[in-house]
């Protein structure tokens, strides 16, 4: 019968341990590098396109929000209440991308253009649908 000596068994154990560590590091890196959820919000005159649509995100996800101002002659900005998330004030034709992480809890927040209080929508984190 084929028997391995101590050095061979030790070498195999080291190789197995290094492979396990490598696989674990690859998985962790892939999880950290997962792509952002991409959202786009467009200001058109005094409403966000789609009649101030509700935005949805999964708890703990990463979001890349693209805000475009397509209003004619009106400046706008976008902020999400309860998060430290806001764009600059944009002139017509300008856009800005902001990246942020969503809280780990289910909640409903409000986003809006606080230059124009009627421009508000819901930002739903979790599976709540209103």
SS (H, E, C) 46-100: CEECCCCCCEEECCCCEEEEEEEECCCCCCECCEECCCCEECCCECCCCEEEEEE
Contact indicator for 60, 36 with CB cutoff of 8 Å: no
Q: Return the SS3 of 108.
A: strand
Q: What is the mean pLDDT of the chain?
A: 87
pTM for this one? 0.71
pLDDT in tens, the chain (130 residues): 566 687 887 888 787 777 778 777 776 665 555 557 889 999 999 999 999 999 999 998 899 999 999 999 999 999 999 998 999 999 999 999 999 999 989 999 999 999 999 999 999 998 765 4
CA atoms within 13 A on the CB side of 87: 27
Report pLDDT for 129.
53
Report pLDDT for 130.
47
Q: Report d(CA 57, CA 55) in Å as an integer.
A: 7
Tell how strand 107-112 and strand 120-125 pair up: antiparallel
């Amino acid at each position: 019968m084929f028997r391995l000596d101590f050095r061979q068994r030790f070498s195999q154990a080291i190789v197995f341990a290094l492979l396990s560590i490598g696989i674990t590091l690859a998985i962790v890196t892939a999880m950290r590098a997962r792509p952002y959820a991409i959202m786009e919000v467009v200001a058109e005159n005094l409403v966000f396109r789609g009649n101030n649509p509700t935005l949805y995100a999964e708890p703990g996800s990463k979001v890349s929000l693209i805000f475009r101002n397509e209003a004619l002659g009106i400046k706008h900005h976008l902020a999400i209440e309860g998060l430290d998330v806001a764009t600059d004030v944009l002139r017509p034709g300008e856009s800005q991308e902001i990246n942020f992480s969503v809280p780990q809890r289910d909640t409903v927040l409000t986003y809006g253009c606080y230059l124009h209080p009627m421009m508000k929508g819901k930002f739903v984190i979790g599976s709540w649908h209103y």
